[in-house]
Chains A and B, each alone.
Chain A
Amino acid sequence: MTEPAKPQSAQRTARDDTPPDAAADTAAAGGPVTYLEAIRQALAEEMRRDPSVFIIGEDVGAYGGAFGATHGLFEEFGEQRVMDTPIAESLIVGAATGAAILGLRPVAEMQFSDFISCAFDQIVNQAATMRYRHNGKLSVPWVLRCPSGGNVHGSMFHSQNPEAWFFHTPGLKIVAPATPYDAKGLLKAAIRDDDPVLFFEYKYLYRRLKEELPAEDYIVPLGSAAIRRPGHDLSIIAYGVGSYYALQAAETLAKEGIDAEVVDLRSLNPLDEDTIVDSVRRTTRALIVHEDWRRGGVGAEIAAILAEQAMDYLDAPILRVTGRDIPVPFSPPLEQFYLPTPGRIVEAAHRMFK
């Protein structure tokens, strides 16, 4: 089947505050690439490397995905390996599970991570238990890409960060890259992993970050945190877009004479507890940042780990700066009030030195 011509008037649904420009994202090799292009490259390279990898989701085919993450893949790999589905998130995940247990490596896409709730049962009851209840006689090697987060004027159903629901669930793996390098390397590692991996990627970072990437094949192994900025006075532990805000806050703090270390978790499950605990034992202060809601969030688990393993080293209470416990509001000042902005992180850091 040939690709129908895309109407010139077709507008991306990406709720981003930077102009959509897929051509810039798909620049030929060489030069810095965006976070979004890093994801696209990972998909293309893994599909070339392994014929069992295929993409399934809404509008991922000829249209190239709501954000352009699958741009050009339909043309290269055809409609069977870049498969459009009806609006049916439960089916998308269920079909990925069925194909995975029969030996394929599906990369499924939730068009917005908010929609993942429609596939909740397929993730937590079906895929997450599949290997366990077959006692290891099969595995579920799928990846579920989830465009996440706010600060893109998307309102409450296009801005969510749903990782905590799945962080709680045994049998799943979760990654949340903060840089183009990690987005590419973690996605490749996730595709090669034999377990179901939720891949949370950030709309706010899609075209905001650019980076030179290695020409050669590389992966970022699951379960390894990165110290993004070494420091002595304070550990800011973050992931995903939270790491981006944390790094901005750290620069402000540096000008004030506070030397913050930024630990970017990269993976939430497996979680690199050693790096977290080691950092906090050195700096004696822990500030945890994520955009997801505060109550019952990943930060609460990290705080508990630190209370168990680093309590005696702490010179200040553990603090969290997170999305506030409200639906993500639409009006720009209200949304900024919701977000864990660099300003809020700096303010929290000040409190730790009083």
Chain B
Amino acid sequence: MPKAATKPDTSPDTLLDLYYCMLLSRAFEERLAILYRQGKVLGGIFSGIGQEATAVGTSFDLQEGDAVFPLHRDIGVALTRGIAPKALMAQILGKSGGLSGGKVDYLHGGDPALGVYGSTSMIGSSIPIAAGAALAFKLKRTNCVAVAYIGEGGTSTGDFHEALNFAGVQRLPLIVVVENNFFAYSTPVSKQMAVENVAERAAGYGMPGHTCSGNDLLSVRHLACQAVQRARDWLGPTLIECKTYRWHGHSEHDDASYRESEEFLEWKSRDPIPRYELYLREREVLTDDIAEQHRADANREVDEAVAFAEKSPYPELHEALDNLYSEGEP
């Protein structure tokens, strides 16, 4: 059972671990974009580049037994929770060494042993499931928590409403992380909602709602730790809205021509990684050498993931029939 942590650990090692999680996520996704252009990725790529502080800051301090339900753009969450880059890369290439043995792409699968559960392309549908995981924690009287990830686009769904309402009524240990990147595919937030902040909706569900800069790792982490503690204390759910920006299109084929280039450049200048580096240097935790070493390590890990995935065979045909039912073919 996880121990209650009152304050985020800010030891130098931990601060650098957080840094590495963001670097690894960035390196992994930058490589994915290259592999896509090389024609090596046949499926879709849903880049979370630019949103790493949200992914890492909300998942880093979770503990064994907690459950996360990352969305397609949350590779940073999966890696931070311990999903091996090799298994994830093989998954994306459809290889047998992938998380699901080739059955599904991207983050539609997961690893229950790490508390990482796959979501589907029906945006919003994972929130009731995350609420159900939180319900299980409540009924089993553990103090584990569930974290549901959703874009601002997914907050328009009925499932978002049904799940948050239920979580409020039952005071479930659920944290709903809303990654507000201002676009649902091409549709701007102004066409999605009539309020400025998704967090305003939390009041309607009887839970606290907070808005923060999703590109500021420290703000995100602070709010996440607070919400997790609240949930562990059985005080109920929290909605955290992280305002951030995806640098790439909805998926790699999308040139995102629907947005203003000034807006994009403005957000690019708020890159969460240099922003965090600045903090680390002020704290005298980061030097040029350490930064260089961390980047080299992240790149090497991604190199190894690609090598593993490319070498991994495609699954055998009979494996298509495995694991649909608990006892095999009905």
Q: Which residues of A contact B (CB under 8 A)?
A: 54, 80-81, 83, 85-86, 88, 90-91, 93-104, 106, 121-122, 125-126, 129-139, 170-171, 173, 193-195, 223, 269-271
Contact = CB atoms under 8 A, between A and B. Distances in A.
A97 B109 contact: no
Interface of B: 67, 99-101, 103-104, 108-113, 117-118, 120, 122, 125-140, 146, 158-159, 162-163, 165-166, 169-170, 322-327, 330
Contacts of A133: 100, 103-104, 108-109, 118
Contacts of A138: 112, 117
A91 B166 contact: yes
A99 B100 contact: no
B149 to A, nearest CB: 14
Given A91-B159, A133-B103, 4 more contacts: A101-B132, A133-B100, A134-B111, A135-B103
A100 B136 CA distance: 8
Nearest to A131: B323
A91 B103 contact: no
B132 A96 contact: yes
B233 to A, nearest CB: 18
Nearest to B112: A138
23 contacts: A80-B139, A86-B165, A88-B165, A90-B128, A91-B166, A95-B135, A98-B130, A98-B134, A99-B132, A99-B133, A100-B132, A101-B129, A101-B132, A102-B136, A125-B125, A133-B103, A134-B117, A134-B118, A135-B103, A136-B322, A171-B325, A194-B327, A223-B330
Contact of B169 (A86, A223, A269): A86
A44 B281 CA distance: 62
Contacts of B113: 137
Contacts of A96: 132
A98 B129 contact: yes
B125 A102 contact: no
A131 B324 contact: yes
Contacts of A101: 112, 117, 129, 132-133
Contacts of B163: 91, 94-95
B29 to A, nearest CB: 21
B112 A126 contact: no
